[in-house]
Chains A and B, each alone.
Chain A
Amino acid sequence: MTENRLHLTRRRLLQGAASVALTAPMLNRAWAQEATQINMLAWYGHAEPDIVAEFEAENNVKFVPKYYAGGDNMLALISQSPPGTYDLILSDAEFVQQLNAAGYIEEMDAALYPFDDFFPEFQKFPGHWTENSLWSVMVRYGLLGVSYNTDALTRAEAMSYNAYWNPKLTGKVGHFDWHLPSLGQISLLNGNKAPSPFDIDEAAWGAVQAKMLSLKPQVGGYFDYGGTFSGLKNGEMLAMVGIGDWITGVLEKDGAKVASVIPEEGGIQWTESYSIGKGTTKQEIINKFITYMLGPKGQVKSIQMAAYPGLSPTKSGWKAIQEANPAEAKRSGLIEGDDNDPVKMLREGRIFFRDTPKQQSLEDWNDFWSDYKSA
């Protein structure tokens, strides 16, 4: 009897084990529903764990990024992909109009986003709206000015774009290899402020080209994202045209002797905005993510993004960073009335939004850039 019972017990045990083995995958699926995949087209860093991991865990989603470098690159990637490929698009603000004109993005519901919390200057950001239709929501921005090695230049010396011509920097001035920020800065140096350094007539454009060419003997190289970092970090370049705190802020944290200032001629603002990709079926979760990123928690993450820091367009974002990281709030000027307060500088007319050329074609500017590099 005992033996028989034991035999039956073993059989039952085997049957039970087999049942568990067969049903486990189903149980597993029931317990943990597969994560919703969100395809994001963005600059590097926006779908890295420091930004999205918490949201992913809380909402059972998984961001799959496709990173680009530059608005043209972004437009190319999206134009070569079928509709619905990208659910969420992080774009430079000046390219939103082109995304919209080409029909790559969905109209957004303005009521879903905390525009009341935005500083007034950013509530109706140029190009993001067509009359009352919203196509993109600004999430962060930064300022481009004179970025320099603090051993080579004093802050006072760096307070003008003329610093690039300083004999101490001969052969040590680098360019971030993109025509818009470099030419925009030279346009500002030439006094093209109204309406914008990017809205200049042919005579002014000719003068910008001549001024740019005069910088050639100072230039030590043209660099991509990685090369810009290493060039400044290892001291090969003592100043870099076309960048700002988004590069030097990262290097400063790493102990490099570099800084960025907004010179007396004014600075250029880069702006990054979220749009919803045409044909996506995941609008609800995307809107939730955008709202999360515009909230205090998301803004603190964005301001301190590991890949490159940004500034917050929302008042609650400023307050949140002041509480979470007062040193960073001070460093980046996210304190109202501070000397580096970006909104104050904007109100004083010292900041100009980066834009595509208004009176020339983008091609004209790019062709000149190629000519300049080989001059």
Chain B
Amino acid sequence: MNASRKFDPYAYVWRLPLLLWQGAFFVIPLIFMAAMSFWLVKNYRMEPTFVFDNWERMLGRGAFWDAYWITLWRAVLAGVIASAIAFPASLFLAFRLTNSGRRFALLCLIVPFFTSFLVRAYAWQVILAESGPVNAALGGLGLGPFTMLNSGFGAMVGYLTLVLPLVVIFQTWSLAAIDKSLIEAAGNLGASAWATLVRVIIPAAKTGLVLGALFAFIMTFGDFVSPFYLGGSKPPTLTILIIDTTKSGQQWPRAAVVAIVMILTLFAVATAAVKAAYRGRG
């Protein structure tokens, strides 16, 4: 038995493009951004140096932490709401549809991504406006008008528009892969539908459910369009803070501080979520 692996040049040829791509367009820019966070801006020009001014200034500001906590909270909320709304639909797609029906439904879920998210956000502006169709319908029932645009609700509608199809796809793939005999066995052993759901289906589909929620969190955390165009920047999120920081005074180094904090947060959350998703799977 030879435990050592032989060097396989053929395999490395196939791996190389991905490594080069990631190196050139992710690792190197990331290093550059980290370095830039220690630079200074003078007369709208960045000057390479190594000072902690940007970190002290940004992390010492209440506005930064307000934006941080609201961004984190909204991302968690979007992940939870998207998962909760997606789950019944995913159960239906996974267990009630034929394979061809499921494929068609998943294709329909991908179709929204053919349109720019910005265009979809503008469409929501029309729909959610006080003079829009939703308020008109509610008005017919003697309700409203309600302020939905330029609010946390408006931003959440945007977040869910962005992430919901993806969460349904993740959940459906995961649920459809469950060995159906496990569900039948639970029924044969007298488990109620609720017990089967909680003790068999959800644990078996855990990976997809957690990853779906994680993607919803990641996309919401970094989204600019929803909080800006549907939430009215009220309150500002970290992405809006980045725009504000660069727009006035060209403080790219300070924006880099915000971006690095965002990346670190996403890294920590993703690590914890992946660990949770695969716990107990060997």
Residues of A with Cβ closer than 8 Å to B?
70, 72-73, 75-76, 79, 98, 101-102, 171, 174, 177, 179, 219-224, 227, 230-231, 234-236, 362-363, 366-367, 369-371, 373-374
Contacts and interface: CB of A to CB of B under 8 A. Distances in A.
A98 B248 CA distance: 14
A238 to B, nearest CB: 10
Contacts of A369: 244, 248
Given A72-B248, A79-B250, A374-B63, A235 B234 contact: no
A370 B130 contact: no
Interface string B132-158: 100000000000000101100000000
B250 A374 contact: no
A75 B45 CA distance: 9
Contact of B232 (A102, A221, A234, A235): A221
B39 to A, nearest CB: 14
A337 to B, nearest CB: 40
Contact of A235 (B62, B126, B130): B130
B247 A220 contact: no
B99 interface: no
Nearest to A69: B247
A120 B229 CA distance: 43
A70 B234 CA distance: 21
B67 interface: yes
Interface string B223-266: 00000110111111000110011111110000000000000000
17 contacts: A72-B44, A72-B247, A72-B248, A72-B250, A98-B43, A98-B44, A101-B43, A219-B234, A220-B234, A221-B233, A222-B233, A230-B122, A231-B150, A362-B248, A362-B249, A370-B241, A373-B244
Nearest to B231: A221
Contact of A230 (B63, B125, B246, B247): B125
Nearest to B45: A79
A234 B129 contact: yes
B66 interface: yes
Given A220-B234, A227-B228, A236-B129, 12 more contacts: A72-B249, A98-B43, A102-B43, A177-B233, A221-B232, A236-B147, A369-B244, A370-B236, A370-B245, A373-B63, A373-B236, A373-B240
A179 B248 contact: yes
B44 A102 contact: yes
Contacts of B250: 72, 75-76, 79
B232 A222 contact: yes
A235 B61 CA distance: 34
Interface string B32-54: 00000000000111000000000
Contacts of A79: 43-45, 250
A234 B63 contact: no
A174 B234 CA distance: 11
Interface in B163-203: none
A55 to B, nearest CB: 31
A75 B248 contact: no
Which of A174, A223, A366, A374 gathers most chain B CB within 10 Å?
Answer: A374
B248 A220 contact: no
A72 to B, nearest CB: 5
